[in-house]
Every structure is written in C-alpha cells, then in structure tokens.
Amino acid sequence: MEGEMFAVILAGGSGTRLWPLSRQSRPKQMLRLLGERTMFQLTVDRLLPMFKPEQILVVTGREHVEELMQQAPEIPRENFLVEPVGRNTAPAIGLAALHLRRRDPRARMAVLPADHYIRDEARFRAVLRAAFQVAERGFLVTLGIRPTYPATGFGYIERGELLGRFGGFLAYRVRAFREKPDLATAERFVADGHHSWNSGMFIWRVDRILEEIARHMPELAAGLQELEETLGTPEEAAALGRIWPGMPNTSIDYGVMEKAQEVAVIPAEFGWNDIGSWAALLDILASDDQSNVVLGAEHLGLDTSGSLIFGNGRLVATLGVRDLIIVDTDDVLLVCHRERAQDVRLLVEALKREGRQEYL
C-alpha cells in the first residue's frame, strides 16, 4: 500500500544575493518580488491543487514563524516546525521526516525550497506525481532542470541508466553530482546532454531518507533519535532547544545524496528559476521596449537599457547606462553591473566584517 504524500517547504535562510531588499529579518521567501504574493505564498499556492493544507509542513526559524503562519493561515499551526537555530538542510529534512513517520511510517515527502519561481505549475505538479511513483520504489529522487545555458551558479546532476517512464516522464539513476563548474566545464555539461541543473527539490519515502541519514550521517541520526523520543510530549520544545545547536551544519546534498546508492533524477522543464540574483528577475518579468524591468519605483530613463530598477516609490532617474542593477530601499542604495549580480553577497560579507549589523 502506498504511503500518504506530503510536501515539506524549507523556509529558513536569509538569501544574501538579493540584498539589500532581502535581510536577516526579511529573507527572500517573505518578499513580494513577482506581484502581490510573497515567494512563500506562491510556493503554497502551487502545492494546494495537489496537497491538502494538513499535508503541507513548513520548516523555518523562530524569528520568521509567526509571519509565515499569517501568510498561510490555511496550513495548521502544528505543521510549522521551528528550528531554534539554522542548521542547513539535512537536519531540517530529518526533523520533518520524524514528524511524518509518526503520521504514516510509509509516508512519502517532497522537499521544496520556499523561494523558487515556477512558470508552468501544472507541469511541475505532473513531474512531482511521477517522482512520487519513483520514490515508492525506494529511490531518493531529485528533480533535474534541463539546462538552457552553461550556468556556473548551479550544481549539475549527471544521469546514468534509464529506470523507466513514470507518468509520462523519464527517470534515470544518478551517476554523479557535480559541483558548480567553471564556464568551460558547464559548456561541456550542456553539450553532452547527460547533465541537468540541480534544483534542490527532492522526493522520497520517509523511511528511506531516515535510513540513509543513519548510514551516512550517524551524528545527525543520533540527535534525531533523541529528539524522536520526546515528540508529542511536554519535553519536546526543551529537547529541541538542547539538541538542535549541536546538529551538524550540513546540506542534504553533501551529507546524503552524493553518497547514497539508490538515487534517481527526473530531468524536466517547467520554467524554473531559483531567483538566485537580482539579474534573474530580468529573465522572469516583463520588460519595456528598452529591456528594462521597473518594480516599485517611478523611473525616468534616457538612453537606458537592459537594467533592473527596484525602488520604494521615489523617482529613480538614469541617463546613458545599460545592464545595471539598481535597488533603492529606505536605508541602502545598491548599484552594480548585471554581470556582477551573483556577487552581491560579497557586499554582505564585507558589512559583516565591518560590524555593520544595522544593514544586514
């Protein structure tokens, strides 16, 4: 008998590459980048046609949980799992798996970031259904994105033998996970047709992921086992506060996926973008006749092209510029070249070194 399907939204992290709009207090998933709905709300919206609200869990930090609850009141409050401190994706996924195993030992879970953009949501859900079929066979499944250009900002997944067709989509064994490549390597990956971008979306049975955590991350498994003994008891919160800070600060990719044997990938296309930089919005949003994207600002532009202007209501005037990122907030003005948008995090790191906490 197949286990119940659940979706787990990972809604922690600060998203430094969209600074200065994204801050520690308001990370990317809580921002309205694409319209009236936040990135988190858009993620919930695309899941509701496939999952009941009680089948959606959210893992987030203590400082963000109340606002996320307000943004998605349809999700039961007990489905929000709170990390005392951020500990990367492996502990967060392990915690969610523990809770789901209590509901259904054969439960299947999809793990999804809270801040991605997906254009074709119906196709995405179809791919997700196919992935649940593959996961039922015991595989740890990841969704690969067919690369449209030689990106150096994503990890890649190399596929191996064909496992079969599931719901109209082909699934393959994973031959290898590849780190973010240099340009020449990325060009080779795109040309050979055997590599997909690593989307950071995963699907598996809860018993299988906990089994693989025990095999490859025994320290995490020990902490989870100690936590599990307190779930549903008055001691749960205190145990979480005591145990969680000692959990390994490790991603599920590095801790499990790169080491496990029964790993599958479904290469797919559904208009995915992780909005990993300000430049990504230029690829997603409608632009004017000069290829400019203007959000939240009044813009007067002469001889201005290929630029993103993100404002807070006041006039932004530009003259004789192209391919710029301009982000105007109440306390910070960012100006950088479009090609350096991925490096905005370097400014955040510099502010940390200088102790300028008020801008973080």
**Same domain, yes or no: 236 and 345:** no
**Co-location of 201 and 115 in the same domain:** yes
In this predicted structure, which of 14-18, 214-218, 239-243, 264-268 has the lowest mean pLDDT? 14-18
Helices (DSSP H) in the chain: which residue ranges?
A: 39-47, 65-71, 89-103, 121-136, 183-192, 206-216, 218-228, 236-243, 252, 278-284, 344-353
- State pLDDT tens for residues 268-281: 999 999 998 899 88
Whether residue 170 sits in one domain with residue 88: yes
Lowest-confidence region among 41-45, 124-128, 282-286, 348-352? 282-286
Q: How sure is the predictor about 39, in pLDDT bands with cuts at 50, 70 and 90?
A: very high
What is the distance in angstroms between the CA of the first residue and the CA of the last residue of the chain? 49
Instruction: Verify that 283 and 202 share a domain, yes or no.
Output: no
**How far does Cα 75 stand from its chain's mean position?**
19
Q: Are residues 261 and 178 in the same domain?
A: yes
pLDDT of residue 296: 86
**C-beta of residue 334 within 8 angstroms of C-beta of residue 297:** no
Domain total of the chain: 2
pLDDT tens-digit series, residues 207-216? 999 999 999 9
Q: Where is the domain boundary, 273, 299, 326?
A: 273
Same domain, 235 and 349: no
Rounded CA-CA distance 40/136 in Å is 27
Distance of alpha carbon 211 from alpha carbon 206, whole angstroms: 8
Q: How far is CA 191 from the centre of its chain?
A: 26
Distance of CA 283 to the CA centre of its chain: 18
Mean predicted confidence (pLDDT) in 22-31? 88
Which of 103-107, 229-233, 260-264, 331-335 bottoms out in mean pLDDT, i.e. has the lowest?
229-233
Whether residues 22 and 133 fall in one domain: yes
Report whether pLDDT(15) > 70. Answer: no
Residue 21 pLDDT grade (very low, low, confident, very high; cuts 50, 70, 90): very high
Helices (H) then strands (E): counts for the chain = 11, 17
Q: Which of 207, 177, 183, 11 is nearest to 105 (CA)?
A: 207
Beta bridge partners of 159: 174
**How far apart are the C-alpha atoms of 79 and 205, rounded to whole Å?**
18
Q: Is 341 helix (H, G, I), strand (E, B) or coil?
A: helix
**Residues 6 or more apart in contact with residue 279 via CB below 8 angstroms:** 308, 325, 338, 339, 341, 342
The residue among 227, 251, 273 that closes a domain is 273
CA distance 62 to 302: 46
Q: Are residues 252 and 293 in the same domain?
A: no
Same domain flag for 269 and 283: no
> What pLDDT score does 340 carry?
93
- Owning domain of residue 139: 5-273
What CATH number corresponds to the domain at position 232? 3.90.550.10
Per-residue pLDDT reduced to its tens digit, 153-203: 889 999 999 999 999 999 999 999 999 999 999 999 999 999 999 999 999
Which residue is listed with tokens 């992290």? 13
**Same domain, yes or no: 310 and 197:** no
Tell me: the pLDDT tens digits for 107-120? 999 999 999 999 99
The residue among 258, 273, 288 that closes a domain is 273
Average pLDDT, the chain: 94
pLDDT computed for residue 152 by the predictor: 87
